């Protein structure tokens, strides 16, 4: 599904140099590389602060903690996402209020967010799924009228941009009070282990996130609030600084690969190529088809028989997860998520994908479907 070995081989000497630099200084946790990366990512996103942390799940948790979210509170999000988005809300003792997604773009339905608001709602967490942004025009309107802050789960869409109807434009993760992201190796900006960050332009929120990620401490050994231990290490930061320089190129390579899949698969009856939200660029963390006629699983098996990997993101939506059964979600409310769980299929998508590989994959798909 990804080719990190191929991607890294092309920048081997830059990576070696970066890793060598960290080994030479011994700054393995925190240190100058982490600070420099935070600054460079802030510049890239156009937001004021970047707070690096241990991973994308921690980033979400720290964001919720910064808002003081706990028992009795509600957080509105979607279940058609990686588990972290919902998990951290439950972990904080709050209630994840799940709403359904759009059938075509797979992102949260703002009308349902509006309906789900209650006096207990403390945050809205849209997910920019598969590389495309949720409807930030509508969501920011809801946030501004209700006063409920937005935390954007931007683990899959770093570098995507929104150009909205109402003067709203900017990069993913910079609209809400906070944006969170992950540097898990397979993400669009990935390191060689775990990593994550919170992005914000609010000074007070930035200070609070930094403090929470560092054991609730500002002055050494003086702990003002209950925090956690979540940090990016020096090696990962040095690697990320190298890869951030190439990120625009990586995103273009993904978009070019997506356009090639589109051209090869468009018009093939029985499948839908990914729909585009006109106001968002798409950075294609995943290239996700919808396969009709109940044939998704058979196609997946057929692909595997031809040595082609594929993925199902996500086979079980949040409302149907055993871990959340105590929230007693009504399955009738999530018809779109349930349908997508049965029909989506993600194809190999990465920066090193060749035309020949895509031609082969598409031929196998078309022959099966016809």
- Residues 339-349 as b/e (b if ≥16 CB within 10 A, e otherwise) read ebbebbbbbbb
314 binds ligand PLP (CB under 6 A): no
What is the smallest separation between the CB atom of 368 and ligand PLP, expressed in angstroms?
Answer: 28
Binding mask 132-161 for ligand PLP (x = CB under 6 A): ---------------------x-xx-----
Closer CB to ligand PLP, 239 or 299, in the complex: 239
# residues contacting ligand PLP (CB under 6 A): 15
236 binds ligand PLP (CB under 6 A): no
Closer CB to ligand PLP, 88 or 365, in the complex: 88
78 binds ligand PLP (CB under 6 A): no
Taking alpha carbons only, the member of 248, 314, 313 closest to residue 283 is 248
351 binds ligand PLP (CB under 6 A): no
What is the smallest separation between the CB atom of 50 and ligand PLP, expressed in angstroms?
Answer: 15
User: End-to-end CA distance of the chain, in Å?
Assistant: 24
Instruction: Name the token pair of 146.
Output: 């209700």
Query: How many angstroms separate the Cα of 320 from the Cα of each of 56, 153, 323, 326, 327?
Result: 23, 21, 9, 11, 10
Contact yes or no for 108/127 (Cβ under 8 A)? yes
The residue with its CB nearest to ligand PLP is 56
77 binds ligand PLP (CB under 6 A): no
The 3-class secondary structure across 288-337, one letter per residue, is: EEEECCCCHHHHHHHHHHCCCCCECCCCCCHHHCHHHHHHCCCHHHCHHH
**Site for ligand PLP (CB under 6 A): which residue of 47, 77, 78, 81?**
81
CA angle 121, 53, 88 (to 5 degrees): 30
172 binds ligand PLP (CB under 6 A): no
317 binds ligand PLP (CB under 6 A): no
What is the smallest separation between the CB atom of 123 and ligand PLP, expressed in angstroms?
Answer: 15
105 binds ligand PLP (CB under 6 A): no
Closer CB to ligand PLP, 185 or 270, in the complex: 185
Contact yes or no for 350/112 (Cβ under 8 A)? no
Using CB under 6 A, which of the segments 54-62, 111-119, 199-207, 340-348 binds ligand PLP? 54-62
Taking the C-alpha atoms of residue 253 and residue 231, their distance in angstroms, rounded to an integer, is 30
Closer CB to ligand PLP, 196 or 234, in the complex: 196
214 binds ligand PLP (CB under 6 A): no
Instruction: Name the token pair of 136.
Output: 């930030």
56 binds ligand PLP (CB under 6 A): yes
What is the smallest separation between the CB atom of 354 and ligand PLP, expressed in angstroms?
Answer: 26
Q: Within 10 Å of residue 1's Cβ, how many Cβ atoms?
A: 13
Taking alpha carbons only, the member of 8, 27, 23 closest to residue 233 is 27
Closer CB to ligand PLP, 56 or 159, in the complex: 56
Taking the C-alpha atoms of residue 53 and residue 206, their distance in angstroms, rounded to an integer, is 12
127 binds ligand PLP (CB under 6 A): yes
What is the smallest separation between the CB atom of 105 and ligand PLP, expressed in angstroms?
Answer: 15
The residue behind tokens 């209630």 is: 95
Q: Which residues of this chain interact with ligand PLP, rule CB under 6 A?
A: 55-57, 81-82, 84-85, 127, 153, 155-156, 182, 184, 194, 196
């Amino acid at each position: 599904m990804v080719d990190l070995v191929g991607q890294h081989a092309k920048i081997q000497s830059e990576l070696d140099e970066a890793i060598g630099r960290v080994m030479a200084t011994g700054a393995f946790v925190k240190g100058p590389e982490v600070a420099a990366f935070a600054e460079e990512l802030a510049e890239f996103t156009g937001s004021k602060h970047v707070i690096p942390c241990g991973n994308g799940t921690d980033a979400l948790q720290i964001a919720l903690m910064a808002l003081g979210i706990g028992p009795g509170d509600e957080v509105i999000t979607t279940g058609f996402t990686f588990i972290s988005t919902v998990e951290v809300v439950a972990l904080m003792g709050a209630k994840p209020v799940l709403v359904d997604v759009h059938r075509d773009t797979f992102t949260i339905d703002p009308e349902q967010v509006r309906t789900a608001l209650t006096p207990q709602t403390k945050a809205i967490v849209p997910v920019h799924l598969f590389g495309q942004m949720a409807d930030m025009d509508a969501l920011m309107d809801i946030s501004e009228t209700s006063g409920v802050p937005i935390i954007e789960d931007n683990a899959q869409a770093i570098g995507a941009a929104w150009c909205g109807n109402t003067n709203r434009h900017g990069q993913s993760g910079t609209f809400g009070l906070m944006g969170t992201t992950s540097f898990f190796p397979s993400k669009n900006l990935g390191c060689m282990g775990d990593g994550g960050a919170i992005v914000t332009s609010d000074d007070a929120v930035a200070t609070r996130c930094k403090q929470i990620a560092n054991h609730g401490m500002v002055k050494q050994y003086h702990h003002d609030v209950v925090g956690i231990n979540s940090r990016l290490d020096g090696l990962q930061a040095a690697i990320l600084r190298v890869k951030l320089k190439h990120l625009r190129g990586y995103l273009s390579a993904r978009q070019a690969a997506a356009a090639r899949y589109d051209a090869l698969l468009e018009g093939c009856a029985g499948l839908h190529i990914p729909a585009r939200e006109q106001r968002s660029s798409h950075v294609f963390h995943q290239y996700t088809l919808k396969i009709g006629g109940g044939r998704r699983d058979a196609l997946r098996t057929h692909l595997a028989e031809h040595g082609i990997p594929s993925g199902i993101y996500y086979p079980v939506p949040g409302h149907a997860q055993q871990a959340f059964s105590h929230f007693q979600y009504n399955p009738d409310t999530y018809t779109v998520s349930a349908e997508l769980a049965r029909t989506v299929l993600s194809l190999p998508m990465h920066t090193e994908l060749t035309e020949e590989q895509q031609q082969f994959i598409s031929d196998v798909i078309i022959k099966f479907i016809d």
